[in-house]
Amino acid sequence: MYGLLGEKLGHSYSKIIHEKLGYEYELIEKRADELSSFILDGNFDGLNVTIPYKKTVMQYCEHLTPLAQRIGAVNTLYFDTSGLIGTNTDYEGLRFNLERAGIDLSGRKVLILGGTGGAGSMARILSEDLGAREIVIASRGTYSQNKLPDTPTEDRISSNISFVAYDDLPQDAEIIINATPVGTYPNITDSPADLSDFDNCVGVCDLIYNPLRTELLIQAKELGIRYTNGLPMLVRQAAAAAEYFHKATSAKAGIFLDRTEAVLSELLNETENIVLIGMPGCGKSTIGKILAKKTGRNLKDTDKTIREMTGRTPAEIITSYGEEEFRRIESEAVLSLSREHSLIIATGGGVIMREQNVRLLKQNGRIFFIDRDPDKLSTYNRPLSQNGGVFRIYRERFPVYSAVSDERVENNGRSFAPCADKILRIIGT
């Protein structure tokens, strides 16, 4: 049996990833008082280990690899002739992630947010190994300047490592690695830092992968800074763990590592939301239904979500309370849907007029602009589009639709199926 050992694993992608690598894999939730007997019984072939047990499991290992000893944490357990071995493949995952994104730490000043935990310690060690000029660790605690917390006694702080409080982050940092949970699901609007304060920043790595694009990474993209989320790291460390799990039966070394990009692409396509934007009456809901039927995904419509929340239609809310109140309610619906994965989201026509809505939709979604000529748009039961307003609104919104979308797809035919098929081709389904 192979699996992931942790306390709460409800949102884990590990089972999906490992089974895409070609073998059965389980999510194993254990309380702290159950951990010892489970490991000592040894009824498993290999395990990945996650929070809060990465340090605890070290005491049960007959042998720790030098890398696991340096990091002070184990995320992979496997057996060899000497017994249970503990190692750490997160190091390989992060190294791969940085290289894939073109983020070079050599000679750079690296700021690690949350650098005293397991992930932060791993990021520190990798930064040292990759030749960082200076490493600054942001911490909420105060630590001795000659000893890192929870690491072997011989692991002294190098002269190029320093600690700072979050209120005193170095604004000349060139690389930022976020090893904190700030910005993760469900608190997807949070960010651990404001990148506009870092004029020298050329690379941002956020170890979070849910959402796919945190507020920190969206800001990095807007500022033209190289960036990456934690998903490539997650897949690569799983592939590296699989090499340890199956080394006795693998036909050749590297067969799981070679699958990294393919698994990453499959996982991204399956989890990223398909977000449909465009004018009222352009066909978003109909196209969404076609896509849902062909992909098996759930379709969520922001207008229907609003009706579920309020008991009123958008038209009724606008007529009774005005457009501003409707937009406020619409933003609540967008926030709720943006936290989810693998959805098809059909949005209201004006959802993109609030920047925060766009940022939320981008966190877990790929945005498709369904463009239909204004003379073909239905205005029935759409108060803002009636009395010729549809042409004015189209002129106002077209530049915004174009700017915020990842893809523009024309939908001027009588049948909406060709538009849906084009979207499927784009996403590779």
Cis bond upstream, residue 192 (ω within 30):
no
Q: Which residues, listed in sequence order, are joined to residue 273 by a DSSP beta bridge?
A: 365
Distance CA 185, CA 364 (A): 11
Q: At what angle do helices 284-295 and 417-427 cross, to 10 degrees?
A: 50
DSSP 259: G
372-375-381-386 Cα dihedral, nearest 10 degrees: 130
To which residue do tokens 């932060």 refer? 120
For 157, 195, 418, the CA distances from 6, given in Å and listed in that order, are 30, 33, 45
Q: 109 — phi, psi (to 5°)? A: -90, 115
Residues 21/256, Cβ–Cβ less than 8 Å: yes
How is residue 218 written in tokens?
A: 């969206």
How is residue 325 written in tokens?
A: 């109140």
For 20, 32, 65, 101, the CA distances from 147, given in Å and listed in that order, are 41, 28, 21, 32
List all residues 6 or more positions away from 258 whose beta carbon is below 8 Å from its beta carbon. none
Q: Widest CA span of the chain, in angstroms?
A: 80
Distance CA 92, CA 236 (A): 7
Catalytic residue check, 54: yes
Q: 3-state class of 369 per DSSP?
A: strand
Catalytic residue among 20, 30, 54, 289: 54
To which residue do tokens 């992931």 refer? 4
What single string gives the DSSP state of each residue in 341-403? SSEEEEPPTTGGGSHHHHHHHHHHEEEEEEE--GGG---TT-TTTTTTHHHHHHHHHHHHHHH
Q: Strands 83-87 and 76-80, how do they pair?
A: antiparallel
- Annotated catalytic residues are 54
